[in-house]
A and B are shown apart, each in its own frame.
Chain A
Amino acid sequence: EIVMTQSPATLSVSPGERATLSCRASQSVSSNLAWYQQKPGQAPRLLIYGASTRATGIPARFSGSGSGTEFTLTISSLQSEDFAVYYCQQYNNWPPCTFGQGTKLEIK
């Protein structure tokens, strides 16, 4: 099973600033990596798939990069609605697909 490790566990950033979240896979997942956003009491929402392709309706301030074992989600200018928990998911080796433990993005 591929283990996904996200860092940091919590990230404190001021509105308007840039946030950079990391995700590492225990072995190569090629570009088969997705990012999700989850707000309290809500289901996860797909942001990015294929490591760098934004899902439908996702603002351009969200961008993804990386391949193999190292991935990054960047939010270029944080809006109030962006403070949430973010998960990465590998879907290269299925079953099982596996998720990272999450990064909580909080207001500084």
Chain B
Amino acid sequence: EVQLVESGGGLVKPGGSLRLSCAASGFTFSSYSMNWVRQAPGKGLEWVSSISSSSSYIYYADSVKGRFTISRDNAKNSLYLQMNSLRAEDTAVYYCARPLGSGTKRYFDYWGQGTLVTVSS
């Protein structure tokens, strides 16, 4: 059974940092690219970042470029999101999501339960 379990969320002050983790199991993690998608309270879904299976290709939404860093450790079956210079508008539930599809055309077939990040003074 595919499982994605996020952790690391919490309350942080504006300008602060936080590192999210996603532990994957039930599939060959090293064969899949992985993504972070977020959802602000009461709002819709926003794609945040993507990393290829070997970390060769990394992409970010414009809203987080230069502040967030995605990474992975295939030996530990884990995905990470280092979030720096956090702003109030980064407040959201952050989901780890596994994409399916081919090439750059991918949708998300498995999602974690999410971890809440609150940026507030």
Contact = CB atoms under 8 A, between A and B. Distances in A.
Contacts of A34: 107-108
B108 A44 contact: yes
15 contacts: A36-B45, A43-B112, A44-B45, A44-B95, A44-B111, A46-B109, A55-B109, A87-B45, A91-B107, A92-B105, A96-B59, A96-B62, A98-B47, A101-B44, A102-B44
A51 to B, nearest CB: 11
Nearest to B63: A96
B104 interface: yes
A99 B107 contact: no
A97 interface: yes
Contacts of A55: 109
B61 interface: yes
Given A49-B107, A91-B101, A91-B106, A99 B112 contact: no
Nearest to B112: A43
A89 B112 contact: no
B69 interface: no
Q: Interface size for chain A: under 10, 10 to 19, 20 to 34, or 35 or more residues?
A: 20 to 34
A94 B104 contact: yes
Contacts of A28: none
Contacts of B101: 49, 91
A32 interface: yes
Contact of B105 (A44, A91, A96): A91
Interface in A47-80: 49, 55
A94 B60 CA distance: 11
Given A43-B112, A46-B108, 11 more contacts: A42-B113, A43-B111, A44-B108, A44-B111, A46-B109, A49-B100, A49-B107, A94-B104, A95-B47, A96-B61, A97-B47
Interface in B42-68: 44-47, 50, 59-62
A92 B50 CA distance: 15
